[in-house]
């Protein structure tokens, strides 16, 4: 049965892939992002597009109200909008740290609040939160990014138990290494924030490694995560978590098996 899906961060990468796959499955799909001009191809392929800034209350209200007027409400919410801003904890301004939480957690949470009444009334809903293996592990210079993703994991688990009696599923998607713009943005922010000063040597080496990895051929295509999102959205009884993409299962297994000190050494060698 066709449902109405809202995919945030749909202007590129994982969000774009998920929107197209859900549309191909026969659902009504709304792709939302700040950069509407980058969603022309989605629109040409039958995906409705709307502007959305998850840090702006009026923007979120307008988006949900428009979907409600057109389609009755949101049945499937894919919370994909987010970003990573790297830098040494000592160097990152707290306003930047707060902004990461605003985008990666609080904006997502507010959008979820806005769609839940319709889902409860219909006794059906799928809330699919894109976290990361970074919600279970950690890397140097990514403390604030990892903090948002660790928080989203716990927030999603609590929400899942709260809304399950209303027929609503909450699913976590944990991508590994995915070939998107994320790595380049994070590396650039790391150089800008900690490329000089006390942390410069290690910060620049880490940024170089990130840039090299994201320019290479090892990472998985965004469609790998798009397919996981499609499965989470359409399965009769979805899993609570899906880990997919380059290195995801391996690194999560190592985190489970190894002690903190041993895993520290693994992370240092990888970075």
**Mean pLDDT, rounded, for 116-130:** 98
Helix ranges (DSSP H) in the chain? 13-24, 40-44, 57-71, 94-101, 107-122, 143-163, 182-194, 200-215, 222-234, 248-257, 260-270
| Residue 182 predicted with pLDDT over 90 | no
pLDDT band at 60 (very low <50, low <70, confident <90, very high): very high
Reported as type and span, the H/E element at residue 186 is helix 182-194
178 in helix, strand or coil?
strand
Per the prediction, the chain carries an average pLDDT of: 95
pLDDT band at 186 (very low <50, low <70, confident <90, very high): confident
Percentage of residues of the chain with pLDDT beyond 70 = 100
Residues with a known catalytic role: 145
| Residue 214 predicted with pLDDT over 90 | no
pLDDT in tens, 4-54: 999 999 999 999 999 999 999 999 999 999 999 999 999 999 999 999 999
Cα–Cα distance measured from residue 74 to residue 55, given in angstroms and rounded to the nearest whole number: 19
Q: Check: CB of residue 232 under 8 Å from CB of residue 128.
A: yes
pLDDT of residue 133: 96
| Residue 92 predicted with pLDDT over 90 | yes
pLDDT of residue 192: 94
| Residue 66 predicted with pLDDT over 80 | yes
| Residue 111 predicted with pLDDT over 80 | yes
Choose among 231, 203, 260, 267: nearest CA to 76.
Answer: 231
| Residue 267 predicted with pLDDT over 90 | no
Cα–Cα distance measured from residue 55 to residue 140, given in angstroms and rounded to the nearest whole number: 27
The full set of domains in the chain, from first to last, is 4-270 (3.40.50.720)
pLDDT band at 216 (very low <50, low <70, confident <90, very high): confident
pLDDT of residue 144: 96
Dihedral angle computed from the Cα positions of residues 180, 52, 50 and 29, in that order, rounded to the nearest 10 degrees: 60
Helix ranges (DSSP H) in 32-130? 40-44, 57-71, 94-101, 107-122
Distances 103 to 145, 163, 185 between C-alpha atoms, Å:
11, 23, 15
The structure's pTM equals 0.95
Lowest mean pLDDT among 23-37, 65-79, 202-216, 218-232: 202-216
pLDDT of residue 120: 98
pLDDT of residue 203: 94
pLDDT of residue 95: 97
The residue that leads in pLDDT, 173 or 188, is 173
**Mean pLDDT, rounded, for 64-90:** 96
């Amino acid at each position: 049965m066709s449902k109405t899906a809202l995919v945030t961060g749909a202007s590129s990468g994982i969000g774009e892939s998920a929107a197209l796959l859900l549309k191909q499955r026969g659902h009504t799909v709304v792709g939302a992002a700040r950069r509407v001009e980058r969603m022309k191809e989605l629109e040409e392929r039958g995906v409705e597009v709307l502007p959305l800034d998850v840090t702006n209350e009026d923007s979120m209200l307008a988006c949900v109200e428009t979907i409600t007027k057109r389609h009755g409400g949101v049945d499937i919410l894919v919370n994909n909008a987010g970003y990573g801003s790297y830098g040494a904890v000592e160097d990152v301004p707290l306003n930047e740290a707060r902004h990461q939480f605003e985008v990666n957690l609080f904006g997502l949470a507010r959008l979820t609040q806005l769609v839940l009444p319709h889902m409860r009334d219909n006794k059906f809903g799928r809330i699919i939160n894109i976290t990361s293996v970074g919600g279970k592990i950690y890397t140097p210079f990514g403390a604030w990014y990892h903090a948002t993703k660790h928080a989203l994991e716990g927030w999603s688990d609590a929400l899942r138990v709260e809304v399950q009696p209303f027929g609503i599923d909450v699913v976590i998607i944990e991508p590994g290494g995915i070939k998107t713009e994320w790595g380049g943005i994070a590396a650039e922010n790391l150089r800008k924030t900690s490329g000089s000063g006390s942390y410069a040597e290690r910060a620049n080496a880490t940024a170089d490694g990130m840039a090299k990895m994201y320019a290479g051929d090892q990472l998985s295509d965004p469609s790998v995560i798009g397919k996981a999102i499609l499965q989470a959205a359409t399965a009769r009884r979805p899993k609570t978590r899906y880990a997919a993409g380059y290195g995801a299962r391996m690194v999560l297994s190592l985190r489970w098996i190894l002690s903190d000190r041993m895993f520290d050494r693994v992370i240092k060698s990888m970075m």
